[in-house]
Amino acid sequence: MNPRLKSILAKTAVAAVVYVGVLLLVQVGIIDAYLQATMVTICVNIILAVSLNLVTGFTGQFSLGHAGFMAIGAYSTALITMSMPTVLGFILGLLVGAILAALVGFLIGLPTLRLRGDYLAIATLGMAEIIRVLLLNFEFSNGAAGLSGIPQFVNWNWLFVLTAGTIVLISNFLNSRHGRDCIAVREDEIAAESIGVRSTQAKTLAFSVGAFFGAIAGGVYASYFYFIKPDLFGFMQSINILVIVVLGGLGSISGSIIAAILLAVVSTLLQPFPEIRMILYSLVLVVLMVFRPQGIMGSRELSLSLFSKLLPGRRQTRTKVTAEDAA
């Protein structure tokens, strides 16, 4: 069988098992309301981390403004679903928020992505703060009080479709010519330009795509938790997303998924210790980064070949066959 087709079938099977398994657990009541909220948080963080990894990990652009795009998606979805409380309104809110965030990402990214390193991080952080301050002062966003009573449409079906769709679309983007241009810019921008890669175009495209999916995550958050305010999308939210990306591994979609799940599980297990919860949470992060500075997955992805290397005796058998063939 074609290795690529085999990999696609294996990933599809895993996704189907996860979808059906969680759906059954929700229906029989094993996953209660609290666990469902944790599950939503995990999926939102996966969408945010994978989309930020496209910008920071695969394109090499240090961005601290992802919370701003999340805010655009959250408020767009909230306002549209409050005025049109139907599933169609929810879908329209997600699309409007995502397109608006991508447009803002393009308009802001075009000039700022000519910067590099710390200067780019400061520029994107300033952009996110501008969005937050505007939401604090606009009348339609209800200022610092935020919006409440947002219709709730997000369930496990929507969570799975949006999360899996984000992963698949960004993976396909990275495997396309545009994705390879982004990776080339990360490796060596000058060398990439010398072979015909338009670095500014590649970076702006990655920034816009990342903003699009960041807004999707914001819309999911607003629709499930039915309350948002500007302070939820401040500087610390951008830092939390960046922590997931770095912990999972820059340039690894699988790493972002694993890190988002791991940090949510650690945070949930530490709930009984509210006094020292953040201390233990920070300590776990420090220990992980000390012993695994490149992240959980580094720049690798989970694959059938990676699992085969971990199987006992597989490598020895392959070496023996190679020696016999050589003889």
Reported as a single tens digit per residue, the pLDDT across 60-93 is 888 888 999 999 999 999 999 999 999 999 999 9
The residue written with tokens 């938790």 in the block is 225
The count of structural domains within the chain is: 1
The answer as to whether 101 is a domain residue is yes
CA dist 234 and 193 (Å) reads 35
The answer as to whether 136 is a domain residue is yes
CATH number at residue 240: 1.10.3470
Residues 6+ apart with CB under 8 A from 269: none
For all residues of the chain together, what is the average pLDDT?
85
CA dist 79 and 16 (Å) reads 33
pLDDT score recorded for residue 308? 52
Q: Which 3 state secondary structure label does DSSP give 147? A: strand
pLDDT score recorded for residue 314? 47
Q: Is the pTM of this model over 0.85?
A: yes
**Contact between residue 248 and residue 255 where contact means Cβ atoms under 8 Å apart:** yes
Q: Who has greater pLDDT, 326 or 237? A: 237
CA dist 39 and 32 (Å) reads 10
The answer as to whether 221 is a domain residue is yes
**Does the pLDDT value for residue 271 go beyond 70?**
yes
The answer as to whether 20 is a domain residue is no
The answer as to whether 13 is a domain residue is no
Query: 82-102 burial by CB neighbour count: b if 16+ within 10 A, else e?
Result: beeeeeebbbbbbbbbbbbbb
**Does the pLDDT value for residue 298 go beyond 50?**
yes
**Does the pLDDT value for residue 327 go beyond 50?**
no
Q: Which 3 state secondary structure label does DSSP give 291? A: helix
Weakest-pLDDT range from 82-86, 210-214, 273-277: 273-277
Q: Choose among 166, 189, 215, 200: nearest CA to 66.
A: 215
CA dist 47 and 167 (Å) reads 8
pLDDT band at 318 (very low <50, low <70, confident <90, very high): very low
Whole domain around residue 71: which residue ranges? 32-326
pLDDT score recorded for residue 213? 95
Residues 6+ apart with CB under 8 A from 206: 54, 55, 58, 59, 61, 182
The answer as to whether 203 is a domain residue is yes
CA dist 217 and 69 (Å) reads 9
The answer as to whether 26 is a domain residue is no
The neighbouring-strand residues paired with 264 are none
The answer as to whether 217 is a domain residue is yes
In the chain, the amino acid numbered 180 is: R
pLDDT score recorded for residue 290? 83
